[in-house]
Amino acid sequence: MNYKYYKIARDRAWQTLIETKTDRLPIDLTKILDYYELNIYLLQSNDKQAFIKNNTIFLNKNLIKTRARFTIAHELGHILLKHNNLGHTIHTNIGIEEYQANIYARCLLMPAIVLKEINYIKPQDIANICNVSLQTAEYRSQRLKELIKRNKFYTSPLEQQVYNNFKTFIENKKLY
């Protein structure tokens, strides 16, 4: 997938962390939803996972917590990236909007710079501290290792700002 689309989604996730003054893990989605004046409505459904209508994210009430968190972040990505088809209920992995919503969710819930600085690189460590599924954490872990190998951090002022927000959290985490 084109790097341009990746970058847009990643930058929007960093902007979200910055403008909501998020400064610790796990990411507080309630605080973020409040900031954007969005509500969650729990759905009793066997097939629909989530969809958006007006200012409400409709979420299947049977999702486990880690899945619910990722789904909320994914839907928020659709909203903030101003995607067209917000009423869709099937989130397959094909198409640019689905790709971007997943990138947004990963960068929001598992900010690479924070994980690098506290040295949480292993999937299980990432899953625990970010409150995400092991499968989701594995994606981040792989990407993180690649970023570390290529030393691709702090190339954007946005990422520097995310670090500044999390500085106290990072310093405390290193200490105890």
* Binding positions for Zn ion, rule: CB under 5 A: 91, 98, 101
Task: Between 86 and 147, name the residue whose CB sits nearer to Zn ion.
Answer: 86
Segment (H or E) for 172? helix 157-175
Bond prior to 26 in cis (omega within 30° of 0)? yes
Q: Identify whether the C-beta of residue 101 lies closer than 8 Å to the C-beta of residue 133.
A: no
Task: Between 48 and 116, name the residue whose CB sits nearer to Zn ion.
Answer: 48
DSSP H helices, 36-155, are 65-80, 96-109, 112-117, 123-130, 134-150
> Nearest CA to 58 among 68, 67, 66?
68
* Residue number, nearest CB to Zn ion: 91
Instruction: Please report how close the Cβ of residue 67 comes to Zn ion at its closest, in angstroms.
Output: 14
Task: Between 84 and 151, name the residue whose CB sits nearer to Zn ion.
Answer: 84
Instruction: Please report how close the Cβ of residue 85 comes to Zn ion at its closest, in angstroms.
Output: 9
Instruction: Please report how close the Cβ of residue 143 comes to Zn ion at its closest, in angstroms.
Output: 20
Task: Between 76 and 101, name the residue whose CB sits nearer to Zn ion.
Answer: 101
Instruction: Please report how close the Cβ of residue 44 comes to Zn ion at its closest, in angstroms.
Output: 20
**C-alpha torsion 131→38→108→92, nearest 10:** 90
